[in-house]
Chains A and B, each alone.
Chain A
C-alpha cells in the first residue's frame, strides 16, 4: 500500500495539536480561578482558602506539565513536517512564536517555580503575585499562538517576494499589522473565554464529587460557587464574541462561513441553521432553520445577501459536512452551558444548589463537554480553512517537507500515539489519586503565620 505523506502529516499534526489542546484551556481557566481563590485568601487569611488554593495548585501542576511537554512538539512540527510552509511564511509566522518564547514562556516558567514550591519560601503577597503572573503568562502564550494562527486565516500586512533561488515567499511589511490582523483579537477572546469555561467546569466537576461523597464540604462549596460564577459569566459573554467572530469569518473567509451554515447557494435573507445535517453531494442542508437570521447576524439586515459555496470553486471547498457538524456542536454546547450555569446560579442564590444531588451528579462527568466544545470549535476553524494552509496563498498539500518520507512520518505518528495514550492514562491516574486524597488541612508547620487573623469573608453569605 502506498502511504500518503500528506494524509499522515495532517493526521499527525491534528492528533498532536488536539491532544495538546486538552491542557492549555484547563491551565488558562484554572489560572484565573487560582488568582481569585488566592486573592480571597490574601484578603481574608481564612484557612479554608489556603486549602482551596493549595489543592487546586496541585491539579493545575499536573495539567500544566503535560501542556508544556506536548507544546514543544508543535513548534518542532512546523519545521519537521511542514518545511516548505515554514520557508514560505517564516518571515512572518516565526515572529509570534519567538515572541511567545520571550514574553510568555519565560514569565510562566519562572513564576511557576514560585507557584508550585514557594508557599513556605516567599511571603504570601509574593506568592499571590507569582500566581497572577503564571495566569497572565498562560494568556500571553495563547495570545501569540492565536496571532500566528490568525495570520494564516486572515493574512494581511505582507507582500510576496521572490527569493534568490526563485521561489516565492511572504514577507512582512508591518509587524503590528500582522499581530493585530483582522481576526486575531476576536479569536483570542473567543479562545480565552472558552478556556475559562473549561477550567471552571473541571473545578466544578471535582467539587461536585466531594459534595456527593459528603466530604470536605466547606472546601467544595466555596470552590464550586466561585467556579460557577466564572463559568456563568464566561458562558454569557461567549455568544457575543462568537457572533462578532462569525462576522469576521463571513467577511474574510466566506467559504468557511458558508460551510459553518451549510449554505450552498448565495441568497438574500439567508437562514440560520439551528440544528441539522448537510450533504455536500446533494448540496443540501436539512434541519431547523430560522429564515433571514443569518443575514441579520452578519450584516444587521434580514434581507442582506450572504455568499454561498456556489461562489467558490469546488476545489477550494472545505470539507463542508465536518465543518458544519463541529461548528453546530460547538454552538449547541455553548447554549447548553448558558442554560445550565444560569439554572445553577439561580439555585445557588436560593441556597438550594448543593442539595440537588442529581445536579451534582450531572456536573461530575460534564467536564468533558467544554473540552469537546473547544476541540469542536478548533476543528471547525481549521478544517474550515482547508484546502488552504494560508488562506488563498498556499495550499496545505504544497506546504509539506520535501526531504521527509512517508514511513518516517508513520513511525513518528505511531510513537506519538503510544506515548500520548500512555500519558493520558497516567494523567488520569494521577488526577484521580490527587482528588481522592483531597485537600489537606494546612494548619501546622511554618506557614501558620499566614492565619494570624481572619477577616471578613464575602462568600459566607452564599453558603449555609
Chain B
C-alpha cells in the first residue's frame, strides 16, 4: 500500500467521521422544523449544543487534507462545484449563527426566525452534500486539462436530485436516532415516531438510489466483481493485482450495510437507543465505504473520457508531502480522538436545560 492509497483511506475516514457526527446534528436541525414548543426546541438544540462545532471540524479538516494530499482534485471539485459550494457555505454560516443567537432574546418572532433559518440551513446542507456525491458517481465534464467544462445546470440532474434527497432522508433518520439518546418523556415518544417514519422513507430511498446507481453506472460494481468487470480508464496495476482482496472487502461492507440497516428497527423495538445509534452510524459508514470502493482508485470521474479521470495518482501531491503529512496526521489523530471522546463523555446522558444552555 502506498501513501496515495493511505490518504484516500484517511480522507474517507474523515468524511465518514463527518457524516456520522455532523450527520446527526444536521438531522436534529431538520427535525427542529417539525418540533413544537420552546422547551422541546431548546432540548433539541442543546442536545447538539456542545458538539456541533467539533463535528463540523471534521469537514474543515477533510477539506484541508484534500487540499494537501490531492490538490488537483480539490481544485477541480471546488471550482467545478462553485455555486453549490457557495450555497453550502451560506447554509453553514446561517446554521452556526442560528444556534448561537436563537436563545439570546425571549421574543417569539426572534426565536421562530432563527428556528426557521436553523432548520432550512440544515436541510439545504444535507441535500447539497447528497447532490455532490451524486455528481461524483455520475462524473463531471472534466477536460484534458483537469478543468471542469460544464455549467452549474449540468450538476442538477434527476439522479443528483435523487441522491440529494436520499442523503436528506439518511441524515434525518440519523438525527432522530441521536435524539432518542438525548430526550425523555413525551418528547422521546415523539422522537420514536420520527424514527419510524424516517426509517421507512430512508429504506425506500436507499432501494431506489441503489437501483438507479446500478442502472446508470454499472461500472460502480467493477471493484465488487473479483476482476470480472474492468474499471474504465487508466490501468492501475495496484487494483488489478489486488482485485480479490478489494472485492472481498467490498462484499463485507455490503453485508455490514444490510445487517446494520436491519438492526435499526430491531434495536428500536428492544429499546436499546445506543445500539440503534451505532447501527445507524454503521449504515452511514458502510454507504460511504461502498461509494468510495465503487469509484476507487478514481476520485473524480470525467464524463467526457475515462482518460481524464482524476485518480489517487494524477490528482495527488508529491510523495514527500504525502509522507510528511501522513506523520502529521498520525501524530494528531490520537489527540483528536481524545478531545472528541472527552467531550462526548462530559455531555453524556439525557439533555437537561440549565443556565449555560442555549
Q: Is the CB of B71 within 8 A of A412?
A: no
Q: Is the CB of B74 within 8 A of A109?
A: no
Q: Is the CB of A116 within 8 A of B71?
A: no
Q: CB-CB < 8 A to A120: which residues of B?
A: 354-356
Q: Chain A's nearest CB lies how many Å from the CB of B311?
A: 12
Q: CB-CB < 8 A to B105: which residues of A?
A: 433
Q: CB-CB < 8 A to A80: which residues of B?
A: 78-79, 81-82, 85-86
For B80-104 the 0/1 string (1 means CB < 8 A from A) is: 1111011001101110110111001
Cβ-based interface call for B34 (8 A): no
Cβ-based interface call for B238 (8 A): no
Given A109-B57, A408-B152, A419-B94, A101:B74 Cβ within 8 A:
no
Q: Is the CB of B328 within 8 A of A95?
A: yes
Contact partner, A101, options B64, B146, B320, Cβ 8 Å: B64
Which of A91, A98, A103 has the most B CB atoms < 10 Å from its CB?
Answer: A98
In chain B, what residue has the closest Cβ to A95?
Answer: B68
Q: What is the CA–CA distance of A430 and B358 in the complex, to the nearest angstrom?
A: 13
Which of A113, A172, A173, A416 has the most B CB atoms < 10 Å from its CB?
Answer: A113
Q: Is the CB of A107 within 8 A of B335?
A: yes
Q: Is the CB of A402 within 8 A of B57?
A: no
Q: Is the CB of B347 within 8 A of A97?
A: no
Which of A65, A83, A107, A434 has the most B CB atoms < 10 Å from its CB?
Answer: A83
Q: Is the CB of A69 within 8 A of B96?
A: yes
Q: Is the CB of B355 within 8 A of A109?
A: no
In chain B, what residue has the closest Cβ to A12?
Answer: B86
Q: Is the CB of A101 within 8 A of B339?
A: no
For A155-196 the 0/1 string (1 means CB < 8 A from B) is: 000000100110000011101000000000000000000000
Q: Chain B's nearest CB lies how many Å from the CB of A42?
A: 18
Q: Chain A's nearest CB lies how many Å from the CB of B304?
A: 13
Interface residues on B, range: 35 or more
Q: What is the CA–CA distance of A187 and B35 in the complex, to the nearest angstrom?
A: 49
Q: Is the CB of A83 within 8 A of B79?
A: yes
Cβ-based interface call for A426 (8 A): yes
Cβ-based interface call for B230 (8 A): no
Which one, B46-54, B159-167, B287-295, is touching chain A? B46-54
Given A76-B89, A403-B79, A423-B93, A110:B324 Cβ within 8 A:
no
Cβ-based interface call for A359 (8 A): no
Q: What is the CA–CA distance of A86 and B68 in the complex, to the nearest angstrom?
A: 10
Q: Chain A's nearest CB lies how many Å from the CB of B85?
A: 6
In chain A, what residue has the closest Cβ to B65?
Answer: A98
Q: Is the CB of B100 within 8 A of A65?
A: yes
Q: Is the CB of B329 within 8 A of A90?
A: no
Given A90-B317, A97-B64, A65:B51 Cβ within 8 A:
no
Q: CB-CB < 8 A to A445: which residues of B?
A: 355
Given A106-B340, A404-B79, A91:B318 Cβ within 8 A:
yes
Q: Is the CB of B50 within 8 A of A117?
A: yes
Cβ-based interface call for A341 (8 A): no
Cβ-based interface call for A411 (8 A): yes
Contact partner, B60, options A72, A121, A161, Cβ 8 Å: A72
Q: CB-CB < 8 A to A101: which residues of B?
A: 57, 60-61, 63-65
State which residues 323-358 of B face A: CB under 8 Å.
324-325, 328-329, 332-333, 335-336, 339-340, 342-343, 346-347, 354-357
Cβ-based interface call for A92 (8 A): yes
Q: What is the CA–CA distance of A80 and B63 in the complex, to the nearest angstrom?
A: 12
Q: Is the CB of B96 within 8 A of A90?
A: no
Contact partner, B97, options A100, A161, A426, A434, Cβ 8 Å: A426
Q: Is the interface of B mostly helix, strand, loop or mixed?
A: helix
State which residues 13-61 of A face B: CB under 8 Å.
61
Given A105-B57, A106-B335, A69:B74 Cβ within 8 A:
no
Q: What is the CA–CA distance of A175 and B75 in the complex, to the nearest angstrom?
A: 22
Q: CB-CB < 8 A to B342: which residues of A?
A: 110
Contact partner, B320, options A105, A118, A122, A172, Cβ 8 Å: A172
Q: CB-CB < 8 A to A91: which residues of B?
A: 71, 317-318, 321
Cβ-based interface call for A81 (8 A): yes
Q: Chain B's nearest CB lies how many Å from the CB of A137?
A: 10
Q: Chain A's nearest CB lies how many Å from the CB of B353?
A: 11
Q: Is the CB of B321 within 8 A of A75?
A: no
Q: Is the CB of B76 within 8 A of A83?
A: yes
Q: CB-CB < 8 A to B329: which residues of A?
A: 98, 102
Q: Is the CB of B146 within 8 A of A165?
A: yes
Q: What is the CA–CA distance of A175 and B328 in the complex, to the nearest angstrom?
A: 11
Q: Chain A's nearest CB lies how many Å from the CB of B49?
A: 6
Cβ-based interface call for B69 (8 A): yes
Q: Is the CB of B82 within 8 A of A412?
A: yes
Q: Is the CB of B61 within 8 A of A102?
A: yes
State which residues 249-286 of B face A: CB under 8 Å.
none
Q: Chain B's nearest CB lies how many Å from the CB of A168?
A: 13
Q: What is the CA–CA distance of A103 and B85 in the complex, to the nearest angstrom?
A: 25
Cβ-based interface call for B19 (8 A): no
Q: What is the CA–CA distance of A172 and B75 in the complex, to the nearest angstrom?
A: 18
Q: CB-CB < 8 A to B152: which residues of A?
A: 408
Given A76-B85, A90-B317, A434:B64 Cβ within 8 A:
no
Q: Chain A's nearest CB lies how many Å from the CB of B72?
A: 6
Cβ-based interface call for A8 (8 A): no
Q: CB-CB < 8 A to A408: which residues of B?
A: 82-83, 152
Q: Is the CB of A87 within 8 A of B75?
A: yes
Q: Chain A's nearest CB lies how many Å from the CB of B120?
A: 14
Q: Is the CB of B339 within 8 A of A110?
A: yes
Q: Is the CB of A426 within 8 A of B101?
A: yes
Q: Chain A's nearest CB lies how many Å from the CB of B112?
A: 15
Q: What is the CA–CA distance of A404 and B147 in the complex, to the nearest angstrom?
A: 10
Cβ-based interface call for B314 (8 A): yes
Q: Chain A's nearest CB lies how many Å from the CB of B29?
A: 14
State which residues 117-138 of A face B: CB under 8 Å.
117-122
Cβ-based interface call for A111 (8 A): yes
Q: Is the CB of B78 within 8 A of A90?
A: no
| Interfacial residues, chain B to chain A (CB-CB below 8 A) | 49-51, 53-54, 56-57, 59-61, 63-69, 71-72, 74-83, 85-86, 89-90, 92-94, 96-97, 99-101, 104-105, 144-150, 152, 314, 317-318, 320-321, 324-325, 328-329, 332-333, 335-336, 339-340, 342-343, 346-347, 354-357
Q: List 5 A-B contacts (CB under 8 A).
A: A76-B63, A113-B50, A113-B343, A165-B145, A408-B82
Q: Give 4 new A-B contacts, CB below 8 A, not counting A72-B59, A120-B356, A433-B105.
A: A80-B79, A114-B343, A415-B90, A433-B104
The 10 closest A-B pairs by CB, nearest first: A90-B71, A79-B78, A101-B61, A110-B339, A94-B68, A94-B67, A102-B332, A113-B50, A401-B79, A83-B79
